Amino acid sequence: MGKKKALVAVGHSILVIAYHVVQTRTKYQDLGGDYFVRRNVATQRKRLIRQLESLGVKVTVEEVKEAA
């Protein structure tokens, strides 16, 4: 069942992409594999801090001018 479910999910993604491309009459632009990470940076930061603290690590966060 897992393989078929994955195929349906990929097919759905392609269908949604095609719909939006036709609807907006624009070229397809791939958002990238890290789209959701970049979109929710604050949420990811909080989640990672909580995860480290649950492992018994004291966390201090400092902003850097340029991320690596």
For residue range 6-58, what is the model confidence (pLDDT) as tens digits? 999 999 999 999 999 999 999 999 888 888 878 888 888 999 999 999 999 99
Same structural domain for residues 42 and 24? no
Taking a C-beta distance cutoff of 8 angstroms, is the pair 49, 61 a contact? yes
Which CB contacts under 8 angstroms, 24+ apart, belong to 19-27? none
The predicted structure's pLDDT at residue 66? 76
Domain limits for position 43: 32-63
Q: Is the pTM of this model over 0.75?
A: no
* Statement to judge: residues 22 and 36 lie in one domain: no
Overall number of domains in the chain: 2
The answer to whether position 46 is within a domain reads yes
Give the per-residue pLDDT at 67: 59
Query: Does 43 reside within a domain?
Result: yes
Answer yes or no: do 39 and 19 share one domain. Answer: no
Q: Are 46 and 57 in contact (CB under 8 A)?
A: no
Asked, for residue 50, whether it belongs to a domain, the answer is: yes
